[in-house]
Amino acid sequence: AQKVTQAQTEISVVEKEDVTLDCVYETRDTTYYLFWYKQPPSGELVFLIRRNSFDEQNEISGRYSWNFQKSTSSFNFTITASQVVDSAVYFCALSGGGYGGATNKLIFGTGTLLAVQP
Amino acid sequence: EAGVAQSPRYKIIEKRQSVAFWCNPISGHATLYWYQQILGQGPKLLIQFQNNGVVDDSQLPKDRFSAERLKGVDSTLKIQPAKLEDSAVYLCASSRGTGGYNEQFFGPGTRLTVL
């Protein structure tokens, strides 16, 4: 069965601090995709990044970076120099390839509430 | 490009009443999803449509929940009769296809409170 674990329920940091959100996943699929979504107080889920299981290259986008390690089944998300606008709930999610019977539905973790204090 | 539209944004009903939610996906997106997000949890898929056919409804409580997408565009999700535990945010999402690599775009959600 597929599962996503976000052990950090809440994190509070002061503006300009760096913060890492952890994500650990379980799957038996050989092809799968990992996602991060942001859910601000307005409630709408905003897509941040997608990674496929064959691409372990780390990615950086501005202040955001992602570290994908298949050996530890982790897909961690780091925000550098955090800002108040980063305050939100962040969800890690997993989907199968949708091939050969593997499900392609998104399995979400329970989310991490990030509070950035000014 | 217009995003996923949902209505109403908020709904308060008494238990045992019925309620319906509406979703209009992004133009050209063949796949539509309904998720239930209970407070403090991640979204959980209720049903997935590919055009007007159901792909996955394994987690839909079919004794009280129903959904349709008759013309392969708009969709409605209905609860009849509602229970207290149905209080949640109902999110609609759409994507171009069904492959797992497809990014899902989410609407603002409908917050349902059952009293």
Q: Which pLDDT belongs to residue A55?
A: 85
Q: Is residue A95 exposed (0-12), middle (13-18) or buried (19+ Cβ within 10 Å)? A: buried
CB contact under 8 A, B42 and A42: no
Angle at B90 between CA B83 and CA A64, to 5 degrees: 140
pLDDT score recorded for residue A97:
66
The minimal CB distance from A33 to the residues B41, B101, B105 is found for B101
The reported pLDDT for the residue numbered B92 is 97
- Specify the pLDDT at position B12: 98
pLDDT at B87: 98
Token digits for A36?
């991060």
Distance, in Å, from the CA atom of B38 to the CA atom of B43, rounded to the nearest integer, reads: 7
The pLDDT of residue B100 is 74
Which amino acid, residue B9? R
Q: Are A118 and A12 in contact (CB under 8 A)?
A: no
Strand (E) positions, chain A? 3-5, 10-14, 19-21, 24-26, 32-39, 46-52, 59-61, 64-69, 74-79, 88-96, 107-108, 112-117
pLDDT of residue A99: 59
Nearest chain A CA: its distance from B99 CA (Å): 5
Cβ-defined contact of B43 to A109 (cutoff 8 Å):
no
Q: How far is B82 from chain A (nearest CA, A)?
A: 23
Distance from CA of A38 to the nearest CA of B (A): 11
**CB-CB: which of A43, A52, A109 is closest to B89?**
A43
Give the Cβ contact number of residue A107 at 10 Å: 23
Candidates A95, A79, A80; CA nearest to A4 is A95
Complete edge-to-edge strand list for the sheet that includes strand B5-7:
B5-7, B19-24, B75-79, B65-68
Angle at A37 between CA B46 and CA B22, to 5 degrees: 40
Please list the pLDDT of chain A residue by residue as tens digits (118 residues).
789 999 999 999 999 999 999 999 999 888 899 999 999 988 889 999 999 898 888 888 899 999 999 999 999 999 999 999 999 999 999 998 665 555 578 999 999 999 999 9
Q: Under a CB-based contact definition with an 8 Å cutoff, are residues B24 and B5 in contact? A: yes
Partners of residue B54 in chain A, C-beta under 8 Å: none
Binned average pLDDT, 10 residues per bin, chain B of 115 residues: 92 97 95 95 94 90 94 94 97 87 91 98
pLDDT of residue A59: 84
Among A33, A43, A110, the residue with its CB nearest the CB of B41 is A110
A47·B105 Cβ contact <8 A: yes
